[in-house]
Structure 1
Amino acid sequence: MNEYSIHLSSLKDKIEKELKNFFEKKLDACDDENIRYVIKELMEFTMNGGKRLRPIMMITGYSLFHDIDDNIIKASISIELAQSYLLIHDDIMDQSDMRRGRPSFHRSVETRLNDPRNSMNIAIVAGDLIDSFSHEALLTSGFDIKNLISADYEFSKVIEDTGKGQLIDIFSSLDDEFSESRLMKLHYMKTARYTIEGPLVMGAMLAGNKKDIDYLRIYGKNIGIAFQIKDDILGLFGDEKQTGKSIKSDVNEGKKTLLMIKAYERSNSMIKDYIKTCLSSGDISDIDFKKLKDIVVSTGSYNYSLKIMEDLISKGKSALKMVSGNEESKAMLEYLSDYILNRSN
């Protein structure tokens, strides 16, 4: 392990401990058996795996301008709790059975209740509940009220943009000609804002810095979109054991990724119809799945997606050089950029 890996591992351990403490306090304060059950399920769902990239980004944004302390560790779990909220609702919309190699939240509840409709109802409310938890974690982290208000306003705008991105995603399934420019907007609003840009800016705001925010936004936007393109590549070409979900899930959900958009644009009418059929099947066969992957490669869509991702990371790194923060923290962000490009899960 290099020094950056050791540092990331140490931060992840602190985040895990703070998450555990937060949920245990919630459980200690709850005297209703059913609500306690839901909070326990939320705890298990949140604690089950995850790279903790978002809280790490918030801590790193803070460390650019202030030494890491207990307050930022407490604040950082806010974005991880919000991640659980978004994933729970996302899995309901996508009808996903698995998340991080285990049953999705609504499916886990269903195994106990044997009642699909009420299991989804409980999952929706559980998502709302943990969204409230996320703001509580931030607002009780001990920071100066002025910096807290700035950070929580940014947090609210991040969740708003993520919701707008989700709407673009839903409508994309109805649009046969969904374009690359619309996809980039989708990736920015649904992924980059709450994965990279938002947490990074929130951390800087908690440190009281405002003059470097624009450069951090440019970095976060470009690296965040690259993160999603990498996710989509792993969703088609990754290893199920490492990604923790079915390698066919993106296709079965009909996701119009950059891989699919460019393959569609570069194909003749017969292949275009075939791609549309695959994306609308809901349960693609092994033979069709392999053929679809071959089309993505043969049309040059795979290499095109890699090039776009590399260009985005390059733009992000250029913006990072303009930030006047701690050099070690900037080096960590550069390392994280390379990690996003090369990760396997």
Structure 2
Amino acid sequence: MSNIEDNYKKTLDGLKDKINAQLEAYFNFKLNECDDTRIKDIIIKLRDFTLNGGKRLRPILMIMGYNMFSGQDERIIKASISIELAQSFLLIHDDIMDQSDMRRGKPSFHKAVEGSLDGNDATRIAENLAISAGDLIDTFSHEALLRSGFELENLLDADFEFSRIIEDTGKGQILDIYSSIENLYSEERLTKLHFLKTARYTVQGPLLMGAYLSGNKKYIQEIKDFGKYAGIAFQLYDDMLGIFGVEEKTGKPVKGDVNEGKKTLLIIKAYENSGKEDREFIESCLKCGDVSDSDFNRLRELIKSTGSYDYTKQKIDEYNNIARSALEKIDGDKEVIKMLDFLLEYLIKREN
């Protein structure tokens, strides 16, 4: 790692520490104003779930969206946790829908709640509590933003963008659920899904919220373009990690995406480039719900032999180049722009 990369990493680690400290302070504030032991227990579990790992990518990008046009101050740290709280809300509900037992190497939220319950109905009650907890932390996310101390006009712009981010993510989730039961799925439809479900709230939305809080609206379209294509590249790479990553590093079951029947670009292109027998095999893997090790290894080999793996890598590079071109058009703080460029590379080379 070069000295420049090392300095960027230290800066990002420093921001992550500040974000974690602000998250902890916010949860303490919510616990102190709560007088019910049952609700407090859920808030504690929300705190533990939120603080359990995570790259803090979204709040960091929100801070960078602000710092492109304004100097650093504590208000943006306070505001940035809003998108991380929303991340917990989305992950909690997502894990219930996917019936995922693990998140970041530990039990998913509903499974952690289930572990604290007794009785034959523990699973259903835990899921009900988790859904309610997700709704609760969603309201926390907007409160954290509105309490950050920014000027009212800028806050309204940022919170309106925040609401649209969650709306688009919900639309993406609907498409994702349908994708698991639709026999035919195109690359075009998958790209739309990745934009709505991932790019909007992972990259584009946080950057826009930060820019709105700075009061600078000159480069909104450039930020949108950067965020869209960087976010899609991020998700395509995430899908590659989902099949070819190391479970100990990703914190997710390596066969999870296949068992959930997800039609990633890797799967779509492998299917398109396969003969009848291999197509039927791919379909059986996606439908079985518990693919064997041998079938999973065969599927991975198919993805490579059909050219799907290389095609996906090519699309990631293509989207990254479009994102970088948009970034170069933004006249903002030079160091922040350089750090965003560094982050763009990190997103497609990470191991988790």
Is 1:167 equivalent to 2:174 in the alignment?
yes
Aligned equivalent of 2:11, options 3, 7, 21: 7
TM-score relative to the length of structure 2: 0.97
Is 1:142 equivalent to 2:158 in the alignment?
no
Whichever residue aligns with residue 88 of structure 2, its letter is S
Is 1:291 equivalent to 2:305 in the alignment?
no
Whichever residue aligns with residue 211 of structure 2, its letter is A
Distance (whole Å) between structure 1 residues aligned to residue 160 and residue 217 of structure 2:
14
Query: Is the CA contact (8 Å cut-off) linking 2:89 and 2:135 kept in structure 1?
Result: yes
Is 1:264 equivalent to 2:264 in the alignment?
no
State the SS of the aligned residue for 1:323. coil
Q: Structure 1 vs Structure 2: percent identity of aligned residues?
A: 57
Distance (whole Å) between structure 2 residues aligned to residue 254 and residue 160 of structure 1:
24
Per-residue CA distance 1:51-107 (angstroms, 9 max, x = gap): 000000000000000011100000000000000000000000000000000000000
**Offset at residue 317 of structure 1 (A):** 0.4
RMSD: 0.6
Distance (whole Å) between structure 2 residues aligned to residue 138 and residue 230 of structure 1:
30
Q: How does 1:1-345 map to 2 (within 5 A)?
A: 2-114=6-118, 115-345=122-352
Structure 1: runs of 5+ lacking an equivalent: none
Distance (whole Å) between structure 2 residues aligned to residue 239 and residue 173 of structure 1:
24
**Offset at residue 146 of structure 1 (A):** 0.1
Whichever residue aligns with residue 298 of structure 1, its letter is S
Distance (whole Å) between structure 2 residues aligned to residue 265 and residue 291 of structure 1:
17
Distance (whole Å) between structure 1 residues aligned to residue 117 and residue 272 of structure 2:
46
Whichever residue aligns with residue 273 of structure 2, its letter is R
Distance (whole Å) between structure 2 residues aligned to residue 18 and residue 341 of structure 1:
28
Per-residue CA distance 1:168-204 (angstroms, 9 max, x = gap): 0011112111100000000000000000000000000
Distance (whole Å) between structure 2 residues aligned to residue 273 and residue 135 of structure 1:
47
Per-residue CA distance 1:7-58 (angstroms, 9 max, x = gap): 0000000000000000011111111010000000000000000000000000
**Offset at residue 136 of structure 1 (A):** 0.3
Distance (whole Å) between structure 1 residues aligned to residue 73 and residue 284 of structure 2:
53
State the SS of the aligned residue for 2:183. coil
Deviates more, 1:170-179 or 1:70-79: 170-179
**Offset at residue 263 of structure 1 (A):** 0.3
Matched residue count: 345
State the SS of the aligned residue for 2:60. helix
Distance (whole Å) between structure 2 residues aligned to residue 32 and residue 87 of structure 1:
25
**Offset at residue 212 of structure 1 (A):** 0.4
Distance (whole Å) between structure 1 residues aligned to residue 86 and residue 72 of structure 2:
22
Whichever residue aligns with residue 267 of structure 1, its letter is S
Whichever residue aligns with residue 83 of structure 1, its letter is Q
Distance (whole Å) between structure 2 residues aligned to residue 204 and residue 245 of structure 1:
33
Could you list the structure 1 runs, at least 4 aligned residues long, displaced by more than 6 angstroms after superposition. Answer: none
Distance (whole Å) between structure 1 residues aligned to residue 177 and residue 345 of structure 2:
31
Distance (whole Å) between structure 2 residues aligned to residue 173 and residue 20 of structure 1:
37
Query: Is the CA contact (8 Å cut-off) linking 2:179 and 2:185 kept in structure 1?
Result: yes
State the SS of the aligned residue for 1:2. helix
Distance (whole Å) between structure 2 residues aligned to residue 334 and residue 341 of structure 1:
12
Distance (whole Å) between structure 1 residues aligned to residue 36 and residue 181 of structure 2:
43
Whichever residue aligns with residue 257 of structure 1, its letter is T
Distance (whole Å) between structure 1 residues aligned to residue 243 and residue 180 of structure 2:
18
Deviates more, 1:113-122 or 1:83-92: 113-122
Distance (whole Å) between structure 1 residues aligned to residue 283 and residue 141 of structure 2:
39
Whichever residue aligns with residue 159 of structure 2, its letter is D
**Offset at residue 308 of structure 1 (A):** 0.2
Structure 2: runs of 5+ lacking an equivalent: none
TM-score relative to the length of structure 1: 0.99
Whichever residue aligns with residue 323 of structure 2, its letter is G
